[in-house]
């Protein structure tokens, strides 16, 4: 499995495009998302996307970056509520499992933004396993613990307000659905046009 896929597998990433639009209730201009008490700015999303793209040597879209940042913040809050601890050593071990390529890992370590993102993803992965009754990344029933932990986070998230700016979509069933506007039940004609224009621009740049 590639490093990019491992990053996505440890979170709840969805591939989508950046849409133009206003802000959802609970967010304000400049905010990409608000997860409980944690605000994630558009600037944070853009910086993370660029830094991880450079470290991986392949595109890591803003939509995927935001989904991971939201998931990291959500797991961190559930972990705090459930008093689940994750040590620096456990996080470091998980980081090595996410990015196994030495050259890529060195690039993550060299960039503060990419390194911080990787640490968040790794800590969230360990916390999810522990929330599911596991002991960590070396648990013999790792997959079972991950699934159970994901269910715990999903259930706990019902009591945590998650607001996504419409330009990115809407938080639905544990992930961002970019096809749904944050303020409408379906993708508007304006959003559709913006999405198609963004896709065309991305293809042109590619």
What are 2-48's pLDDT values in tens digits?
Answer: 444 444 444 332 222 222 222 333 445 568 889 888 999 999 999 99
Q: What percent of the chain has a predicted confidence (pLDDT) above 70?
A: 70
CA atoms of 89 and 199, how far apart (whole Å): 41
User: What average pLDDT does range 141-159 have in this prediction?
Assistant: 88
Q: Is the pLDDT of residue 130 over 60?
A: yes
Q: Cα 114 vs. chain centroid, distance in angstroms?
A: 13
Q: Work out whether strand 31-35 and strand 162-164 pair parallel, antiparallel, or are unpaired.
A: antiparallel
Q: Is the pLDDT of residue 182 over 50?
A: no
Alpha helices (H) in 35-182, listed in sequence order: 42-56, 62-81, 88-98, 102-110, 112-131, 142-156
Q: Where are the domains of the chain?
A: 31-177
What pTM did the predictor assign? 0.72
Q: Is the pLDDT of residue 119 over 90?
A: yes
């Amino acid at each position: 499995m590639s490093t990019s896929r491992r990053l996505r597998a440890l979170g709840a990433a969805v591939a989508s495009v950046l849409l133009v639009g206003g802000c959802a209730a609970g967010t304000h201009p400049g905010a990409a998302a608000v997860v409980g008490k944690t605000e994630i700015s558009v600037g944070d999303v853009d910086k993370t996307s660029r830094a991880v793209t450079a470290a991986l040597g392949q595109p890591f879209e803003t939509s995927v970056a935001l989904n991971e940042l939201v998931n990291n913040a959500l797991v961190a809050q559930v972990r705090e509520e459930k008093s689940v601890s994750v040590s620096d050593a456990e996080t470091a071990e998980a980081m090595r499992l996410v990015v196994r390529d030495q050259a890529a890992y060195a690039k993550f370590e060299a960039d503060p933004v990419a390194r911080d993102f990787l640490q968040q993803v790794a800590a969230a992965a360990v916390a999810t396993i522990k929330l599911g009754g596991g002991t960590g990344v070396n648990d013999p029933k790792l997959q079972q613990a991950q699934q159970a932990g994901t269910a715990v986070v999903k259930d706990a998230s019902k009591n945590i307000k998650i607001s996504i700016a419409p330009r990115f979509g809407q938080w639905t069933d544990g992930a961002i659905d970019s096809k749904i506007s944050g303020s409408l039940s379906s993708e508007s004609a304006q959003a559709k046009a913006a999405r198609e224009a963004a896709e065309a621009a991305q293809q042109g740049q590619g």
